[in-house]
Amino acid sequence: MSHDANCIFCKIIDGKIPSMKLLESDKSFAFVDIGPCSPGHSLIIPKYHAAKMHELPDDSLQDILPMAKKVAIATGASEYNILQNNGRLAHQVVDHVHFHVIPKPSQDKGLVVGWPSSNPPKEELQAVRTIISGKN
């Protein structure tokens, strides 16, 4: 299992830094975020250390979303966001994969998102599809 002795999340998993643990499995660990956007904001992290999601082995992802579901239900929030960032431009601060469960109790509490959508021509969308899927 990958591990980084200097990583704050690896230290939390190892019990070297205290956390408010919510759930734990063989492969994942959930705890309360200490800088929450709203009450109930929590993190789910794999025990395998990787900076970005695509660097994780598939089996390290297998119970993260079921754990996020349990946390979301336990918060009692009827509306919430599941957020996962990869890289600085994508707003990742800690270089260990982590999923946020963020209750959205009101318009001004919880995650605030801007969504700069566009309306590209169908040919441009088809070109993107070809690149991603490898299909013509």
DSSP class of 48? S
Angle at 32 between CA 31 and CA 38, to 5 degrees: 145
pLDDT for the residue numbered 135: 74
Q: Report the distance separating Cα 19 and Cα 126, nearest Å.
A: 46
**pLDDT for 62-121, tens place per residue?**
999 999 999 999 999 999 999 999 999 999 999 999 999 999 999 999 999 888 899 999
Q: Which of 41, 49, 96, 98 is catalytic?
A: 98
Answer whether residue 27 shows pLDDT above 70.
yes
3-state secondary structure of 80: strand
**pLDDT for 28-39, tens place per residue?**
999 999 999 999
Q: Does an H or E element contain 125, and which?
A: helix 122-133
Spatial contact of 101 and 38, defined as CB atoms under 8 Å apart: no
Per-residue pLDDT band for 134 (boundaries 50, 70, 90) equals confident
Known catalytic membership, residue 98: yes
Which domains occur in the chain, in start order?
Answer: 8-133 (3.30.428.10)
Per-residue pLDDT band for 2 (boundaries 50, 70, 90) equals confident
